[in-house]
Structure 1
């Protein structure tokens, strides 16, 4: 090998006069090569700081990724392939092939891991051959197949190297080495399929959750050849396990589970921070640990003096819907507290007025409009919080309430503890006018008052339409196609300014109408079929969805479209709120939705004493029986007191499928025509 230039501190490179080529003249090289008829170029040593990327290098697209790995390989293994160079002026040389290797070595020099004058093995070519050499070396190259690299890593480990040593020598992280070793230990059949492009990397990663190669093949062969997606494989492998991101696992804690001897499988190919890639193989143990932890909290709450305390791991609260709810008592404030509350209320009003004034009089095009709005909003929020905190300090549980009511300690769908205080068992609830069925009302036959009084009271209207809302939600839950159309309709309203913009990042507002909201309005809601169906769905989705908000989107991306539509139906259903205080006089969107769903309220509601008959006058109750049966019950009920008449009417209405006007379909002819045409 000819040494054109040697490192400093050994033999200094010979100085050249300006205008002359460095090292050996290219003309001499051309003549020598032509005479010998040998391949062009000869081996030389050139200091690293004398090399630069040549403009004749045909590779113009340069990627930075992998350079650090390449630098580590060169540092540990040496330069295994020479650079192809041509002479430049001023004792410098242009690299026409090997630009990535050059940049990797420059990274080492910049990090003081190589001396700048490190001698580099090169092959010197004439300037006239630069493009031809560069094109030749950059053409026809084929990268190593990943399966070959996986097996090579495994051989190095089997020969005695550690994971850290392999990672250091090849410029990758130890996790990367572990991942490639995991795939290298799959059944040989799968690596052969990978080389033949008959299996995808994500399928290999899913199979790697199984340690036994025979079990890997059993899972693969047990699936249909047309249904071997990574998701299906992972689901088949982990269907009996519980994700570390599930609500029970988040509540117990992964460390506590493992400390008790629970076995765990980790998906090396998921993010280390992603709990959904960790699977707990003993869900029975997990449930027992969760219950023990919850009972510890139950004992603490019991010390508050409640008559009873119960705990539940279920996220479904349907079993507790019939319980009454006590509100905290409020004591009289001290003079100092009253003064503080008044001052905070005045501050809250001042900030609210300032915010409203900015909304009404501010210039939306001003540069500082949004900044001022944000400042006013933050000040108003703080004032609201301070006022609420001052008023909340006056609330307490009276001794009579503690003796009568109890507390439920449960987990919600995110695995967080919810403590519901002031629950009253159905058998402990005192009768209220709503339950007694004998509500004093004005004489229905008083001419003037009957003419002006609404047919249904506001309270009853809200009651009936709350049941209708629950039925709409339950029916939407069973019809994803209509739910999708309803959601798209809501989006279109916003996009085309036909309704109003929401508050979410995509400008679609979703406000949940929860079971508690419906139960406050709808009599005997907990006993309704809609409540049962919605409660079951809530429990099911609560268990399926990851408890971590950051993991929710990643989880959704892995789900089949059918699952997404079912979840969309549930979420859209829960956003429906058709509760109204006045009867509908014209068809609205709730009627369109009911018609699209084929909703018949007789399937979801029956006229019991608690739901209807006890809330209306005798005349309205008798009118209902007349409409339902065609028989006038006036003579048969003559002289009956209200409770007896209510029971009589309830027995006559049983099985008739009669519903009052607010629950009946109210469809405009245009709506019917449009639906028929569709």
Structure 2
């Protein structure tokens, strides 16, 4: 069986498992057939490879109040660990809130999976529920690619996202640490971050965006001006240029999302230029494949 076929089947298997996870369980005193068993909550441990790092304190408190009243509506998915321990695959937020609620036992679904599949399930579950911030999502994708040799296409099939979505997520990891912190804390949106990731000073632009409450379109205009200044020959004076119209900026953004690469349009009369920037031969190969080239 080829690796590609195996991964496609794995993707379908993950989708089926996520469907099982979505089946509700009754309160912790009487688990439904969706849960395999009740286990002491102190025997459940977090997964150090979980892509989710931040948990909002107020959200956890709200969930803990619900658990006190209704129990754990959805079992935690785990795998066996050392001794009588269980490592969380999906559901760390429910486990944390259950601890806050004072539960002594928690319903679980036990699955026998390896490290790779456990990471895939954690990413799929969090992405489907929009629980990951943009940076955590990108770091999860990077971990799968680095450790298990996934291509962006393979990863897109497994998580149910387009290749361009994966590519654009991974671009966020090129941001300097201060900007990544702003993104993780929610001060900067993923759209803002993608707009400035290739600029000469993302930190300064990020602060300007936040201080001015600028929109994503405003951020794209700032990035365009930065690119024009960077490409201008040294010692020359910039000529006055009209700002790109919103339709052109929207088209640039749409093409960038499809290709996963920076795209610039320059209209000249009835014609113009289309510029696509790539930073590695791998990106060039992928671009050629998308354009239908076979010999390059």
TM range (shorter): 0.3 to 0.5
Give the structure-2-normalised TM-score.
0.39
Give the structure-1-normalised TM-score.
0.19
Higher relative contact order (CA 8 A, sep 6+): 2
